[in-house]
Structure 1
Amino acid sequence: MSRPSVEVPAPRSELLDGPGAPVDGAAPPPVPKVVTTKHPGRWVAAAAVGVLLAMAASALITNPAWDWGVVGEYLFAPSVLRAVLFTLQLTGMGIVFGFLLGTVLAIMRLSRNPLLSSVAWGYIALFRSIPLILQLLFWYNLALLYQRISFGVPFGPAFFDIGTMELIGPVTAAVLGLSLHQAAYCGEIVRAGLLSVDPGQREAAAALGIPWARQLFRIILPQAMRSIVPTAGNEIIGLVKGTSVVYIMALPELFYQVQVIYSRNGRVIALLLVATIWYLAITSVLSVAQHYVERHYAKGRA
């Protein structure tokens, strides 16, 4: 009986023989050279921007009219620091009350009840149409319309009343104006965030029998924050600058305070620079905080 034949694989040197195999003693094929794409336009644009930045820095440093010595003198003055703190307080109260009322308005607009939805829509349309400065003046002069405000049963007897001037002072008028104005924008921001959540999330939560409040605060809002935070951050930064409008009520916020100082010493540009630096510092800190909040709510998302 003949034994079966077994094919032995050819040596590696024989496998390499062929049309594409290197010939002994021949030079290896040249390695292709990688040539990077040139972008001369980028370098020209960068050079032009660099020159402009250098010119701007030179103008700021060398021009004595900027009065940098006076800027340093008043930058941390006690009156300016108190004005910065008051500006932050106005911003904080305006944002807190604005987003609380705005969330209620957003839920009302999404309601299937036509009365609730219409009232929320009308509020947003009205307060977004009236300039903030007019709203502040209206609340500041509310005593011209109603000298006393009563509290009691609607369309019934009043339990007690109080003078409008005592109830709504300049600070209260400023907080009311900022909050009610901001609520109109915050309502649309929250509504857009709620609509960005997949409706299947609500249906699944309802099918599991989860209460409505828990659906909203534990399932819907955490996902909606991804869309709410970027726009809300812009609104907060805008409100920091918008507080300067309350100077018409002679409240000691930052812009009003620097006006008081430069009306006494005549250093207008230097004091305006003081206000500019503080506004830049506040908005920069808020921008950094917004970045980290966005990153927190973006976890698990590409």
Structure 2
Amino acid sequence: MRSEPISGVPVARSSHWGRWLAGGGALLVFGWLATLVVANPRLDWSQVGHYLFDQEILSGIAVTVEISVLATVIGLGLGVLLAVMRLAHSPVLRWLATLYIGFFRGTPLLVQLIFWYNLAFLFPSLVLKVPFTDIGLRWDTNQVMTGFTSAMLGLGLNLAAYFAETVRAGIQAVDRGQTEAAYALGMTPAKRMRIIVLPQALRIIIPPTGNEFISMLKTTSLVYVVAGHDLMTNASQIYKANNLIMELLIVASLWYMVMTAVATFLQSRLEQRFGSDAVRLVRPGGLAARILPRRTVTA
């Protein structure tokens, strides 16, 4: 772009040679590292293409998505409950919620997954019955706590501890005047939380919740220790049989990147619809308009 004179004095554009040199150097290093991997003669890219759409890999992707969705649902539902308990007036509820969050955030997720998978060592049978009677149901723990169930339960319970803090922060960010107005209208605490507070906290909760779900997609790779038949488990079973370790790891990485990209796109769409950069308009007739991005609002 040509520099235009200001008050008769020409404006000279800075050359920024240092930026160009730093960028060129970074590109050279990145290209060199990429060439070492891509052009490596010990890496068979034809096998990568062969296993990219293998039936075992595709079934592992389906299990990975299923575990991630179910664990997120469990974690979000329990996280909301824990957040409400943390903010409750009862010291017992606050203490129990704090203990739960501290335990699941303080112990490694891998240890938790192995614990749930081997729960039969402590409880050979799971019993659900009426207290002080023999009326109830009994299940064999080994049949209930499969790799899939252990993964879903372990990831969900662990995620609840993190969701609880996210939801608590969103609830506390709601203006206190909203709460006082709800009390003035005679709302019960439960109704106030359900109708007034949580919908407004949603715009703050959604972005970190989406990030946790994306992280969950990749964290499911730990499920291979309990044979959960997810993407990483199936990939490891294949490369243990044919010794194509690097090729199968590349296949798994490519699919994790695809799933992450899809989840990121959905998160961005959700944030546009309900996120913090959206406002609720009210038409002159008093009916609430749909949520629109803030940049579309005009004075």
* Fold match by TM threshold 0.5: yes
1:90 to 62, 67, 89: 67
Aligned counterpart, 2:284: none
Q: Give the structure 2 partner of residue 299 of structure 1.
A: 278
Displacement of 1:211: 4.8
Q: Please say if residues 149 and 164 of structure 1, whose CA atoms lie closer than 8 Å, have aligned partners that are also in contact.
A: yes
SS in structure 2 at match of 1:33? coil
Tell me the distance in 2 between the aligned counterparts of 1:215 and 1:49: 54
What is the CA–CA distance in structure 1 between the aligned matches of 2:34 and 2:225, rounded to whole Å?
34
Equivalences, count: 273
Q: Any residues of structure 2 matched to 1:1-302 within 5 Å, and which?
A: 31-154=8-131, 156-162=132-138, 163-296=140-273, 297=275, 298-300=277-279
Cα deviation 1:137-179 (Å, max 9, x = unaligned): 222222221222332334x224123132333333222211111
Alpha-carbon distance in 2 for matches of 1:30, 1:103: 62
* Paired residues of 1:150 and 1:158 also in contact (CA < 8 A): no
Kept after mapping to 2: 8 A contact 1:139/1:177:
yes
Q: 1:157 to 1:50 in 2, by over 3 A?
A: same
Structure 1, residues 13-46: CA drift from partner, whole Å, max 9, x if none? xxxxxxxxxxxxxxxx973322334433322222
Structure 2 distance, partners of 1:56, 1:233, is 32
Q: Structure 1's 32 and 234: CA in aligned 2 closer, same or farther, altered over 3 A?
A: same
CA contact (8 A) 1:151 1:158 kept: no
Measured in 2, the distance between the counterparts of 1:164 and 1:62 equals 50
Q: In 1, are the aligned partners of 2:130 and 2:136 still within 8 Å (CA)?
A: no
Moved more, 81-90 or 223-232: 223-232
CA deviation string 1:244-294 (max 9, x = no partner): 112112221111111111111111111110011011111111112222222
Change (3 A) 1:158 1:120: farther
Secondary structure at the counterpart of residue 150 of structure 1? strand
Secondary structure of 2:64 counterpart = helix
Q: CA RMSD in A?
A: 2.1
Counterpart AA for 2:227: A
Give how far 1:219 is off.
Answer: 3.0
In structure 1, what residue type is equivalent to 2:26?
Answer: V
Instruction: Name the % identity.
Output: 39
Unaligned stretches of 5+ residues in structure 2: 1-5, 280-293
Partner SS state of residue 218, structure 2: helix
CA distance in 1, matches of 2:134, 2:78: 26
Q: Displacement, 1:130?
A: 1.6
Deviations 1:77-111, CA, capped at 9 Å, x for gaps: 11100001011111111100011001100000000
Q: TM-score, normalised by structure 2?
A: 0.84
- Distance, in Å, in 1 between the alignment partners of 2:262 and 2:46 is 25
CA distance in 1, matches of 2:111, 2:36: 38
Q: For the residues of structure 1 that align with 2:183 and 2:17, how far apart are their CA atoms? A: 59
CA distance in 1 between counterparts of 2:9 and 2:134 reads 93
Please identify the structure whose Cα radius of gyration is greater: 1
Query: Equivalent residue of 1:48, what SS?
Result: helix
Q: What amino acid does structure 2 have at the position aligned with 1:103?
A: V
SS state at 2:42 partner = helix
Asked if the contact 1:91/1:240 (under 8 Å) is kept, the reply is: yes
Q: Is the 8 A contact 2:174 2:197 kept in 1?
A: yes
- Distance in 1 (CA, whole Å) between partners of 2:38 and 2:152 is 39
